[in-house]
């Protein structure tokens, strides 16, 4: 007698032993939207769908913050190509480098998916840099 696809497999103590059920975004959104109907409660909707009420509450929070969308880029971060090369100095850096015995730190250039570029030279405030990356990456 095989187990149904909707029934979780458990051991003798009632603990899950089989694979976890995966829900499509549309299923999650539909359940969350049911909880927004006047008079509906999270535990009732969860029980009707065979889902733990805590899990449905997590989905409600994700929905509230826009994380239950079909936007694939939100689900999995894209890997971007990285090029490492020798730094090229602009004329003002060349003059400083010739007069000073120490070598200036190499600038870092980040190109974001939206086409924005960020060139970072030495002496940048970390908090400012975090905020710039957050704004330019659209997060």
Residues 14 and 46 in one domain: yes
Residues 68 and 101 in one domain: no
CB-CB contact of 70 with 25 (8 Å): yes
Q: How confident is the model at residue 6 (pLDDT cuts 50, 70, 90)?
A: low
- What pLDDT shows up at residue 1? 42
Tens of pLDDT, residues 15-45: 877 777 889 999 999 999 999 999 999 999 9
52 in any annotated domain: yes
Tens of pLDDT, residues 46-98: 999 999 999 999 999 999 988 888 765 455 566 777 777 766 666 655 555 55
> How many domains is the chain partitioned into structurally?
2
The range of the structural domain enclosing residue 117 comes to: 91-137
Q: What residues does 68 pair with on adjacent strands?
A: none
CB-CB contact of 119 with 109 (8 Å): yes
Tens of pLDDT, residues 95-137: 555 555 555 567 777 777 767 777 777 777 778 777 777 777 7
* Three-state SS at 7: coil
Run of H or E including 60: helix 53-64
Residues 37 and 104 in one domain: no
Residues 66 and 99 in one domain: no
Q: What residues does 118 pair with on adjacent strands?
A: 110
Q: How confident is the model at residue 4 (pLDDT cuts 50, 70, 90)?
A: very low
- What pLDDT shows up at residue 93? 55
86 in any annotated domain: no
């Amino acid at each position: 007698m095989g187990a149904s696809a909707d029934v979780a497999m458990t051991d003798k103590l009632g603990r899950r032993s089989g694979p976890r059920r995966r829900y499509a975004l549309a299923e999650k959104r539909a359940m969350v939207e049911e909880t927004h109907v006047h008079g509906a409660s999270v535990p009732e909707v969860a029980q009707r769908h065979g889902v733990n009420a805590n899990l449905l509450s997590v989905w409600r929070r994700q929905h509230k913050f826009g994380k239950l969308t079909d936007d694939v880029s939100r689900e999995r971060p894209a890997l971007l190509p990285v090029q490492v090369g020798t730094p090229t100095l602009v004329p003002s850096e060349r003059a400083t480098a010739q007069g000073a015995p120490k070598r200036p730190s190499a600038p870092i250039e980040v190109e974001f998916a939206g086409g924005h570029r960020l060139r970072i030279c030495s002496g940048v405030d970390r908090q400012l840099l975090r905020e710039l990356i957050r704004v330019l990456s659209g997060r």
